[in-house]
């Protein structure tokens, strides 16, 4: 009598085998000396990660045409399109990861000293929880939100201020 192997026996064996693929992301590794052990680590002095508040200047206009004038750009015939193009160009140049966690602005202990265009980009490409470089800017958000906080490596703070003083 011969015993034929069951077709599902190999599948059960594979399921109990240890995984052979390890996935890791080290895209921000060069910007940080370490990573926080918990969310409160960003509040500690000398933390590797910080909640960075990015805000528009006091009295900055909320209408696209007025925003462009405040930035020193002629609005042209289609101010929203002109503003979006300007925001997209600046977003590509920002020294941020392609995605960042967004925190409520009052939680941020560190205020970014950035120009108005950079603040516009960060706010327009943020949702309640995340900033995404490739997200289409939401100009309507600029009318109601004046600041956001990004959870970023501490080295990003200096890089932002250095590139866009």
What pLDDT digit, counting tens, does each position of 43-88 carry? 444 568 888 899 999 999 999 999 999 999 999 999 999 999 999 9
Q: Is the pLDDT of residue 1 over 80?
A: no
* Residue 12, Cβ density class (10 Å: 0-12 exposed, 13-18 middle, ≥19 buried): exposed
Coil/strand/helix, residue 152? strand
pTM: 0.70
């Amino acid at each position: 009598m011969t015993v034929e192997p069951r077709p599902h026996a190999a599948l059960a064996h594979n399921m109990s085998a240890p995984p052979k693929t390890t996935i890791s992301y080290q895209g921000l590794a060069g910007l940080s000396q370490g990573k926080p052990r918990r969310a409160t680590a960003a509040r500690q002095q000398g933390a590797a990660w910080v909640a960075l508040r990015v805000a528009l200047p006091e009295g900055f206009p909320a209408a696209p045409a007025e925003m462009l004038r405040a930035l020193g750009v002629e609005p042209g015939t289609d101010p929203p399109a002109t503003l979006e193009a300007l925001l997209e160009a600046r977003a590509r140049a920002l020294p941020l990861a392609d995605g960042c966690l967004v925190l409520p602005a009052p939680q941020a202990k560190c205020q970014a000293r950035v120009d108005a265009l950079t603040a516009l980009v960060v706010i327009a490409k943020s949702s309640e929880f995340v900033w995404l470089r490739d997200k289409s800017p939401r100009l309507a958000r600029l009318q109601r939100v004046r600041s956001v906080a990004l959870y970023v490596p501490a080295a990003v703070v200096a890089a932002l201020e250095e590139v866009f003083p």
